[in-house]
Amino acid sequence: MAELKEVDPELVLSLKEKLVAPETDITERYRVLFSLRNVKGDVAREALVESLNNPSALFRHDVCFCLGQRQEPEAIAILAAILKDSNEHPMVRHEAGEALGAIGTPECLPPLMQYADDPVLEVAETCQLALQKMQYLEEHPDANNEESPYYSVDPTPALPASTPVSELKDILLNEEQRMFDRYSALFALRNKGGKEAVNVLTEVFKARSALIKHEVAYVLGQMMDKHGTENLLKVLRDPKEHAMVRHEAAESLGAFANTATEEVLKEFTQDADPIVAHSCVVALDVLEHEKKGIPYFAGVTNEQVMVQ
């Protein structure tokens, strides 16, 4: 279970009002979302669920992510409903499936099994990955106690830190391997860190699967290693790349506070795909906070709630 923090109830109600209010702009809405992500209690969770009415697919996808990170069984029904909705944006359905895998209780199994062969490849791969994770944790219960150094609930456990980079590379780049094994290698490389690990991770951008490419873009943002910047910029600039990959590249670039990155993000706030354009707007807000050394949250102190 994710460690959720106690916060003053009046503050939580205030944040809920901002989160669901139509007039709240996208940058403040995201700051509120990631503030509420780690806040304990029904009100915080209900605020996230209510905000799923937002018209932005990008935002709904991030709400699903936050619900998964909270690991509360109370969110299973709404996440399953999103996964089942063929009219929902594939990126949102994917994130709902990943969130069910993060919660990982037996109640999550039926919807994941039902959509493991979904015609939308990213959705199918996500459900398969979640099922493989749940099976692994059932067979290796001690792995459930392993904590990510980035305080995130990852789609798979990482392979041991002692695994050589060359071995991790062979697993990660082998498209015949199970997605579970490739992800486990991916997170091991993230945890190792350093230029060599980053260089291996960025080779994934040549792969076929948008799912694994989007995860690499995400972890490069977690790592905040400057060696990943050029590859993330290249992904963002590529109009042929899947929107979910470009979106993660944009948001990860928000962690790199430099002029060159800022100029490219500003350029792509006008991208034809609203998912990419809005990701750049959010990324610029994150970048501005990074430049000023201000924590990225809304109305909650670091002592009250950790916001990643």
pLDDT in tens, 39-89: 999 999 999 999 999 999 999 999 999 999 999 999 999 999 999 999 999
Looking at per-residue pLDDT, the higher value among 147 and 268 belongs to 268
Q: Is 67 left (phi over 0), alpha (psi -120 to 50) or beta?
A: alpha
pLDDT of the residue at 302: 41
Residue 308 inside a domain? The answer is no
Question: What length is written for the chain?
Answer: 308
Number of domains in the chain: 2
Residue 307 inside a domain? The answer is no
pLDDT at residue 222 is higher than 70: yes
215 SS3 class: helix
The rounded distance, in Å, linking the Cα atoms of 174 and 176 is: 5
What is the DSSP code (8-state) at residue 299?
S
Residues 109 and 69 in one domain: yes
Residue 244 inside a domain? The answer is yes
Residue 255 inside a domain? The answer is yes
Residues 236 and 128 in one domain: no
Residue 301 inside a domain? The answer is no
pLDDT at residue 144 is higher than 70: no
Residue 71 inside a domain? The answer is yes
Which of 10-19, 104-113, 138-147, 185-194 is the least confident region?
Answer: 138-147
Residues 113 and 245 in one domain: no
Looking at per-residue pLDDT, the higher value among 148 and 138 belongs to 138
Structure tokens of 118? 């979904």
**Does 241 carry a binding-site annotation?**
no
Domain boundary among 125, 145, 165: 145
**Does 248 carry a binding-site annotation?**
yes
Residues 205 and 101 in one domain: no
257-266 long-range contacts (CB < 8 A, ≥24 apart) are: 257/287, 257/290, 257/291, 258/229, 261/229, 261/233, 261/287, 262/287, 264/233, 264/236, 264/237, 265/236
Residue 167 inside a domain? The answer is yes
pLDDT of the residue at 187: 97
Q: Which amino acid is at 53?
A: N
Placement of tokens 């830190």 in the chain: 161
Q: Of all residues in the chain, what percent carry a pLDDT higher than 70?
A: 94
**Does 303 carry a binding-site annotation?**
no
Domain boundary among 145, 179, 213: 145
Most confident of 130-134, 252-256, 287-291: 130-134
The rounded distance, in Å, linking the Cα atoms of 176 and 185 is: 14
**Does 140 carry a binding-site annotation?**
no
Residues 137 and 158 in one domain: no
pLDDT of the residue at 4: 86
Residues 207 and 86 in one domain: no
Residues 112 and 217 in one domain: no
pLDDT of the residue at 255: 86
Count CB-CB contacts under 10 A for residue 24.
18
Residue 214 inside a domain? The answer is yes
Domain boundary among 115, 145, 175: 145
pLDDT at residue 284 is higher than 50: yes
- 57 touches 277 (CB < 8 A): no
Q: Provide the domain limits for residue 177.
A: 154-294
**Those residues with Cβ within 8 angstroms of residue 14's Cβ, 6 or more apart along the chain or in another chain:** 299
Residues 226 and 273 in one domain: yes
Residues 128 and 235 in one domain: no
Can you give the CATH number for the domain in which 3 is found?
1.25.10.10
Residues 160 and 140 in one domain: no
pLDDT of the residue at 26: 95
**Does 89 carry a binding-site annotation?**
no
Residues 10 and 140 in one domain: yes
Residues 140 and 179 in one domain: no
